[in-house]
């Protein structure tokens, strides 16, 4: 068996039951061939980087699993046939994985998921404090760094001539008169 990571994007118009059906069918193919699902994460609805089949959003699903190459071929064949799948990408993570490594990866993934959930909960509880600190720091200037004022340059107005800029006077040519012409 090999270890794979697969991400697939489903149409946004699907109901929750239809999304669950596609995910379960994919998982069933993996488990029927004595493979193992290490991690499954439904990212949910997200905006696409570019329109795919005239859709601007898609439902993302990430799956980390161990299976034989034939199973991956079958999953991709079904994804090409199924109209509900907009895009998919399968990446081989490792060439060989044993049953012990699969179970170790599953426990590691579960531990990371729990750690992320607790981290998210602590961030949410700390957000109001951080916002109030930012607001108070913006209201009062810091005593450590004095503010520097930049001198402004005066721009001469176009209406009145400036004293700095000399006026351009055109020298007049003397027209010869009859007295000087001789």
pLDDT recorded at residue 127: 61
CA 179 to CA 182: how far, in whole Å?
6
Q: Pick the more confident residue, 81 or 161.
A: 81
Q: Please check whether residue 60 lies inside any domain of the structure.
A: yes
Please, how many CA atoms are within 13 Å of residue 127, restricted to the half-sphere of its CB?
Answer: 7
**Can you give the residue range of the structural domain that contains 73?**
2-98
In a domain, 81, yes or no: yes
The verdict on residue 11 lying in a domain is yes
Does the residue 47 lie in any domain?
yes
For 45-76, write each residue's pLDDT tens digit. 999 999 999 999 999 999 999 999 999 999 99
DSSP string, 8-43: EEE-TT--HHHHHHHHHHHHHHHHHTT-EEEEEEEE
CATH of residue 68's domain is: 3.30.70.60
Average pLDDT over residues 33-55: 92
The reply to whether the predicted model has a pTM over 0.85 is no
Tell me whether residue 46 is in a domain.
Answer: yes
Q: In 40-167, where does DSSP find H-type helix?
A: 69-81, 99-139
Whether 81 shows a pLDDT value over 80: the answer reads: yes
Is residue 54 a part of any domain in this protein?
yes
Task: Give how many domains the chain has, as a whole number.
Answer: 1
- For residue 168, what pLDDT band results from cuts at 50, 70 and 90? low
């Amino acid at each position: 068996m090999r270890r794979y990571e697969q991400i697939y994007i489903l149409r946004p118009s699907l109901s929750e039951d239809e999304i669950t059906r596609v995910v379960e069918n994919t998982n069933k193919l993996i488990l029927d061939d004595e493979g193992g699902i290490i991690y499954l994460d439904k990212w949910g609805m997200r905006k696409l980087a570019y329109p795919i089949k005239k859709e601007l959003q898609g439902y993302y699903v990430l799956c980390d699993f161990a299976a034989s190459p034939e199973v991956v071929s079958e999953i991709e064949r079904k994804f090409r046939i199924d109209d509900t799948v907009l895009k998919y990408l399968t990446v081989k993570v490792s060439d060989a994985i044993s049953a012990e490594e699969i179970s170790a990866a599953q426990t590691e993934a579960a531990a990371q998921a729990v750690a992320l959930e607790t981290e998210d909960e602590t961030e949410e509880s700390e957000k109001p404090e951080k916002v109030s600190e930012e607001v108070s720091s913006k209201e009062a200037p810091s005593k450590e760094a004095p503010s520097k004022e930049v001198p402004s340059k005066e721009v001469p107005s176009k209406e009145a001539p400036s004293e700095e800029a000399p006026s351009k006077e055109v020298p007049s040519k003397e027209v010869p008169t009859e007295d000087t012409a001789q």
